[in-house]
Amino acid sequence: MRLPELMRAFGADKAARQEGRGIKSALLANVINADSLNSSSFGAVKEIFVLHLTLSSPVPPERFIAAMDRQINFPTLFVLFCGGKHMLCAAIKQDGEKGIKVGKRYFSPWLEEKDVTPLPMWADSTDKVYLAIFAAILPLSVRGGEDAQAFTARYDAVEKLRSYDKKLLGELKREVQPKKRFELNTRLKKVREEIQKLTS
């Protein structure tokens, strides 16, 4: 299907269609399921679509991806290609009362194509492949027993704490009263302990 037809099929709005003009090609590259993994393990994730988008510029077409992702009822990994590099993009998807709920979308940085890493040996089920996708996107180590949702929730908690850490540091630099500086340092220490707990 040509891109204009594809955009009409999934109801892209004007902004998404505008971004779509910068996409040279779109390809359904793979469908990962228990059969394709030669696995008898059936988990919460039944299938994972892998879509390749070749771009004319290194600016990710976020609205186009969001519009397309909303129309796909399965977890989807978008692999963007541009100038000899690639970027990974995926969002947590869950079954909800009104259908599939698409959560926050995550993007990796642009990576050299030669750095494409095959799925790890532990990714022997669709649930583990789904987790491995987010582990490849986000700069955080996976903990034993985590699924993709728990992993991304922990990453979000770390990012929130790091943002708060930065805010406290700014306040500390501006504060001159010893008592308030002591209070800020105490809060800063607790925040960094929490970050350490979540990242170790």
The answer to pTM > 0.95 is: no
φ, ψ dihedrals at 88, nearest 5°: -105, 145
Picking from 166, 156, 174, the residue whose alpha carbon sits closest to that of residue 191 is 166
What single letter denotes the amino acid at residue 93?
K
Rounded-to-5 percentages of helix, strand, coil across the chain:
45, 25, 30
Domain ranges of the chain: 3-137, 157-199
Place of tokens 């925040």: 191
Cα distance between residue 83 and residue 86, in whole Å:
8
List the pLDDT tens digit at each of the 200 positions of the chain: 556 666 665 666 788 888 888 899 889 899 998 888 887 666 788 899 999 999 999 999 999 999 889 888 899 999 999 999 999 999 999 876 777 788 999 999 999 876 666 666 667 789 999 999 999 999 999 999 999 999 999 999 999 999 999 999 999 999 999 999 999 999 999 999 999 999 98
**How far is Cα 140 from Cα 104, in angstroms, rounded to an integer?**
17
Residue 36: its pLDDT value, please? 85
Residue type, 158: V
Q: How far is Cα 173 from Cα 30, in angstroms, rounded to an integer?
A: 51
